[in-house]
Amino acid sequence: MSAHLANEKGQLPTDYYGDNVFNDKAMRQHLPKAVYKSLKQTIEKGEKLDPAIADVVASAIKDWAISKGATHYTHVFYPLTDNSAEKHDAFLTPDDNGGAIAEFSGTTLVQGEADGSSLPSGGLRSTFEARGYTAWDVTSPAYVMENAGGIVLCIPTFFLSWTGLALDKKTPLLRSNQAINKQAQRILKLFGVQTNLPVSSNGGLEQEYFLVDRDYVMKRPDLLIAGRTLFGAKPPKGQEFEDQYYGVIPERVFAYMIEVEQELYRLGVPVKTRHNEVAPSQYEIAPLYEQANLATDHNQLIMTVLRRVARKHNLVCLLHEKPFNGLNGSGKHVNYSIGNKEVGNLFDPGETPHENAQFLVFLCAVIRAVHKYGAFLRATVASASNDFRLGGHEAPPVIMSLFLGDQLQDVLEQFRIGEVKGSRKKRMMHVGVDTLPPIPADPGDRNRTSPFAFVGNRFEFRAVGSSQNPAGSIVALNTIVAESLDFVATFIEREMQNKCELGEAVQRLIAYIMEEHSAVLFSGDGYSDVWYKEAERRKLPIHPYTPDALPVYTSPEVIDLCTRYNVLCREELRSRQEVYFEQYIKTTHTEAKLALRMARTNIYPAVMRYQTELAQNHKLLAKLTHFENPVFKEINELMHKLNTAIENLEVAINTDPVNERDREIASKAQTSSYNIQLAEANHCRKNILPAMEELRAIVDTLEVIVAEDLWPFPSYQNMLFVK
């Protein structure tokens, strides 16, 4: 680590890393030995905190936090929006003598009350019973956050209704880890592998973002409110030179990154890489992978710190999936694997035939999972903002396919051929006998057009949007993989009961999976039209937009899957779906109204002024020459189109796709509220968004004709190239 990451005291990151976290080192220092041991056990095994030690732990955490300058504490939770939420309480409690003492009991550490009545719950709580409660997730350590306004002790928590239903994104993640653990242990047992630690999922979450000078953002209501540009003509120079990718990082940005990293190091977030991305002013930050639960919490911290530090450098960090048309969008690549400290990474091909066989079983489970539940996976990345990204400009397509790399796919094919044709001699590989050819950890031909790729020892899910909480996708991955591991374990167990050897059983399994599920494997160009046709032929689900994707949350398959593995019950799935529909509809309406307003109150007057100037010029010149200014004519025509487009958008916004009677029925019945949301979402997609597009096309044409000094907004050129 380099010296410029030294903090104000001259300490290197290795000295101050994790300073603000109540981590193992702090626990050891501040807790009595027996309590430390008990807590450590709880964390490693993911068990419930022993109430007997809660008070001691709370008091130690409080003293530690106060020594760091904290005055308040908060239970941080992760509601169904993509942000984190918190409510601050002071440690301070008045005593009987007119003074005050700092207080923080075991009960307040372990459980809190959160009146999150304004947070979306998708009908799980009515406002009269709005209070949910938060409960400490011991597997994610407490930390202190230094804000300009003060220092706060933060306790990562679950957020549940009083009836025990999950109102957040963390709860199902831990439940899905339990499902993974149970099913993975069954497979490991078949291979004679024992472990006392739970098997859980790991996540390495790469975060992309844009940085724009704050002064420009202040002049663009669209960036300020929607986080993306609703108008803006393409700059003469876009990203076609490819000179930005891995290019030299500009100085102001560099200073910003260093400050972000310093802060994240103090918070114990293992940030590892930083670089320029493909589009101008686009960057990426990636920490080392951690247990998925912790990685997800850390990703929230990364997003918070990215946004906050930007302010100090007069920058704004845009986490929107598509802030600028015609340029790459921002994603959040989710590197995914399962395993634990004892058994290692279960997606790592081994060196011995026995290890390889085990690897192939886990691999096959994933193939089956993505094939069977691609539509569920796709639904977890559906959002208004990600709709602008998926399927365009180097973003993965909406069709869920799996890229294995030619070498590995070839190996699996050989198993299938051998088994299916029934000729043992033809079989080129034997499970339990042959070793796989070494799979390069980072194959050179990484297929960037695939939404889900095997990259040597893990999978990379690339469809997640930059602003999304990745928990939703990780929950889906865990659950579908657990279901497949269950299937696979049962398959092998059954074969073995029929006197089949383990190797032979695995051989049959691979052949079966390849026969039934290889339709999901694709190594070609995911951007091509040919692939759409081919995917249709293979009967892979194609859900281009959010309203197509969200219904899957309450499909019989997904309800059955999620209830069977105790990850989400029917009500919880429906509530999620309801919230996501609502977000889509609200976002689209807000943006549409904003576009309308900008067009009316900023753009129209600007064009009119230019038109007036041209008219005066025309009048003046007419006396002197026969010259007719073609720009005048063009502006007149575009002005006409602008008027029409504004009117059309207004009509689209004000049209209610649902009639009154249906609304009345819906207010009484749950099921029809779904139909109403679907109709509204489809109206957004099919009428409002196209009307916005139409308006934008005209405005963007005008932007490059109207005199620059009259144009009311900073251009793409300004925003993207001033650093």
Which residues of the shown chain bind ligand ADP in the complex (CB under 6 A)? 202, 204, 206, 273, 286-289, 333, 335-337, 345, 457-458
Contact letters (x/-) for Mg ion, 282-321, by CB under 5 A? ----------------------------------------
657 CB neighbour count, 10 Å cutoff:
16
670 CB neighbour count, 10 Å cutoff:
11
> 56 or 286, CB closer to ligand ADP?
286
540 CB neighbour count, 10 Å cutoff:
21
> 333 or 371, CB closer to ligand ADP?
333
Only segment of 332-340, 493-501, 618-626, 642-650 that touches Mg ion (CB under 5 A) = 332-340
Single-letter residue type at 219: K
CB of 309 to ligand ADP, least distance (A): 20
Going by their DSSP bridges, the two strands 332-340 and 344-345 should be labelled as antiparallel
In 435-593, DSSP assigns E strands to 452-454, 459-461
Separation between Cα atoms, residue 310 and residue 261, nearest integer Å: 12
What are the structure tokens assigned to 364, written together? 């096959």
CB of 477 to ligand ADP, least distance (A): 11
- Quick one: CA torsion of 580, 582, 586, 588, rounded to 10 degrees? 60
State the binding partner of 300 from ligand ADP, Mg ion, none, CB within 5 to 8 A by kind: none
State the binding partner of 330 from Mg ion, ligand ADP, none, CB within 5 to 8 A by kind: none
Separation between Cα atoms, residue 545 and residue 564, nearest integer Å: 28
According to DSSP, the residues that pair with 207 across neighbouring strands are 285, 332
CB of 205 to ligand ADP, least distance (A): 7
What are the structure tokens assigned to 106, written together? 């075991």
> 30 or 333, CB closer to Mg ion?
333
According to DSSP, the residues that pair with 203 across neighbouring strands are 290, 336
What are the structure tokens assigned to 466, written together? 């930059």
From the number of C-beta atoms within 10 Å of its C-beta (0-12, 13-18, 19+), residue 694 rates as: middle
CB of 373 to ligand ADP, least distance (A): 20
List Cβ neighbours of 480 (8 Å cut-off, separation of 6 or more).
369, 370, 372, 373, 376, 377, 561
From the number of C-beta atoms within 10 Å of its C-beta (0-12, 13-18, 19+), residue 418 rates as: buried
Residues 145/136, Cβ–Cβ less than 8 Å: no
> 359 or 461, CB closer to Mg ion?
461
State the binding partner of 598 from Mg ion, ligand ADP, none, CB within 5 to 8 A by kind: none
CA angle (257, 261, 266) in 5-degree steps: 155
State the binding partner of 345 from Mg ion, ligand ADP, none, CB within 5 to 8 A by kind: ligand ADP
> 125 or 333, CB closer to Mg ion?
333
> 333 or 683, CB closer to Mg ion?
333
Single-letter residue type at 95: D
| Torsion 57-58-62-63 (CA) sign | negative
CB of 457 to ligand ADP, least distance (A): 5
State the binding partner of 143 from Mg ion, ligand ADP, none, CB within 5 to 8 A by kind: none
CB of 204 to Mg ion, least distance (A): 8
Nearest residue to 168 via CA among 40, 82, 239, 271:
82
CB of 336 to ligand ADP, least distance (A): 6
> 202 or 244, CB closer to ligand ADP?
202
> 453 or 698, CB closer to ligand ADP?
453
State the binding partner of 458 from Mg ion, ligand ADP, none, CB within 5 to 8 A by kind: ligand ADP
Separation between Cα atoms, residue 145 and residue 70, nearest integer Å: 8
State the binding partner of 289 from Mg ion, ligand ADP, none, CB within 5 to 8 A by kind: ligand ADP
List Cβ neighbours of 294 (8 Å cut-off, separation of 6 or more).
139, 140
DSSP 116-176: -TTS--TTSS-GGG--EEEEE-TTS--EEEEETTEEEEEEEEEEEETTS-B-BSHHHHHHH
Residues 535/519, Cβ–Cβ less than 8 Å: no
Only segment of 139-147, 170-178, 326-334, 394-402 that touches Mg ion (CB under 5 A) = 326-334
Separation between Cα atoms, residue 89 and residue 570, nearest integer Å: 34
State the binding partner of 220 from ligand ADP, Mg ion, none, CB within 5 to 8 A by kind: none
> 286 or 695, CB closer to ligand ADP?
286
Separation between Cα atoms, residue 169 and residue 159, nearest integer Å: 8
Residue 333 binds Mg ion (CB under 5 A):
yes
> 241 or 246, CB closer to ligand ADP?
246
State the binding partner of 718 from Mg ion, ligand ADP, none, CB within 5 to 8 A by kind: none
CB of 694 to ligand ADP, least distance (A): 37
> 80 or 294, CB closer to ligand ADP?
294
CB of 487 to ligand ADP, least distance (A): 23
Residue nearest Mg ion by beta-carbon distance:
333
State the binding partner of 671 from Mg ion, ligand ADP, none, CB within 5 to 8 A by kind: none
Separation between Cα atoms, residue 218 and residue 221, nearest integer Å: 7
> 299 or 588, CB closer to ligand ADP?
299
Residue nearest ligand ADP by beta-carbon distance:
204
Residue 332 binds Mg ion (CB under 5 A):
no
CB of 122 to Mg ion, least distance (A): 32
CB of 460 to Mg ion, least distance (A): 5
CB of 345 to ligand ADP, least distance (A): 5
244 CB neighbour count, 10 Å cutoff:
18
> 291 or 380, CB closer to ligand ADP?
291
> 207 or 325, CB closer to ligand ADP?
207
Residue 458 binds Mg ion (CB under 5 A):
no
CB of 462 to ligand ADP, least distance (A): 9
CB of 321 to Mg ion, least distance (A): 16
Give contact residues for Mg ion (rule: CB under 5 A).
333
